[in-house]
Amino acid sequence: MKHVLVVNYSQTGQLSDIAAQVIGPLREAGHRVHLETLVPATPYPFPWPIVDFVDAMPECVQLDAPPLKPLSVAADTDFDLVILCYQVWFLSPALPMTAFLRSEAGRCLIRGKPVVTLVACRNMWLSAQETMQKLIAEADGNLRDHIALIDRGHPLATFITTPRWVLTGKRDSFLGMPPAGIAPAEIRRASRFGRAMADALDRNAEKSGQPMLAGLRAVTVNPRLAISERAGRRAFGVWSRLIRAFGQRGSWQRRPILLVFSVYLIVMVLTVVPTSLLLQWLLSPLLKSRLEGLRAQLELPSGSEEFNLEKYDESR
């Protein structure tokens, strides 16, 4: 029997549902799982008032996370495996996960341990995962696998349905667009990762240094999004430093510059994003081999192959 730590934070319950799908088979196989739900010292609102929403961007991007309430688990507990479940906020890990990974207790819990990251978001998680890799490495954790669940709606539709969900709490289908978030069937199918990890733990494979979740289509990357993300990340870097020069999160001095940033965001989403998607689509025959190389690299360590789906995906 192995001892597994699952760290989670979810506002709508979506990520908690996915975590539960992974935890179920681990427990059924007899492994002991501690689910640590992160609790920010000052809760984040849901739905988000628009000002609070944009005001969170600079601290997300600069990894300046407000503290959490003390964890329910002792920092020196010796786990065999740590699973970090997070969502993306402004192309960065959500602030509660950043706070965990930068805290003494969080770093202590993952030091020297095999770590699996599980992200669930709209569709842009590449930059956030790069940050996770850096924070995990800084804490001396060993990232072994990565699972990414995304909203399968068209990127242009989810640019409307995700903000609508986050800002109003309304998730249902809207103006012919699909409901926001990850499809329920996809959430149920996340149990395949729990089954594969339970088997891997039985074989001591978590100690092998190899991925445990290969062949389960844990990650599929659209390399064209990587290009948009890089541009967005650069812009957020500049804006976050500028906004922070005006004052702290929540201060009235930030309000005018936040308004300018909001206008910029809307104009970007309405003009630059569709244009760049169209350009990338038109240029894709020329960029094909470069994008394929990029895809293979970004899908590491767990990859998009399917050779183990038959064994672990019960819905097939």
Ligand X SMILES: Cc1cc2nc3c(=O)[nH]c(=O)nc-3n(C[C@H](O)[C@H](O)[C@H](O)COP(=O)(O)O)c2cc1C
The site for ligand X (CB under 6 A) is made up of 10-12, 14-15, 48, 53, 56, 87-91, 120-124, 162, 166
How many C-beta atoms lie closer than 10 Å to residue 172's C-beta?
11
Tell the smallest beta-carbon distance from residue 278 to ligand X (Å).
Answer: 20
- 116 within 8 A of 65, measured Cβ to Cβ: no
Q: Is 53 or 312 the residue whose CB approaches ligand X more closely? A: 53
CA distance 135 to 65: 13
Residue with tokens 């993300």, as numbered in its chain: 229
Q: Is 9 or 312 the residue whose CB approaches ligand X more closely? A: 9
Tell the smallest beta-carbon distance from residue 164 to ligand X (Å).
Answer: 11
Q: Is 21 or 123 the residue whose CB approaches ligand X more closely? A: 123
Tell the smallest beta-carbon distance from residue 184 to ligand X (Å).
Answer: 14
Q: Which of 141, 55, 58 is nearest to 101 (CA)?
A: 141
Tell the smallest beta-carbon distance from residue 197 to ligand X (Å).
Answer: 20
Q: Is 79 or 86 the residue whose CB approaches ligand X more closely? A: 86
How many C-beta atoms lie closer than 10 Å to residue 241's C-beta?
12
Q: Is 121 or 187 the residue whose CB approaches ligand X more closely? A: 121
CA distances, 194 to each of 64, 144, 314 (Å)? 32, 15, 12
Tell the smallest beta-carbon distance from residue 60 to ligand X (Å).
Answer: 7
Annotate 165-221 with three-state secondary structure: HHHHCCCCCECCECCCCCCHHHHHCCHHHHHHHHHHHHCCHHHCCCCCCCCCCCCCC
CA distance 193 to 197: 6
Q: Is 90 or 100 the residue whose CB approaches ligand X more closely? A: 90
Tell the smallest beta-carbon distance from residue 277 to ligand X (Å).
Answer: 15
254 DSSP assignment? G
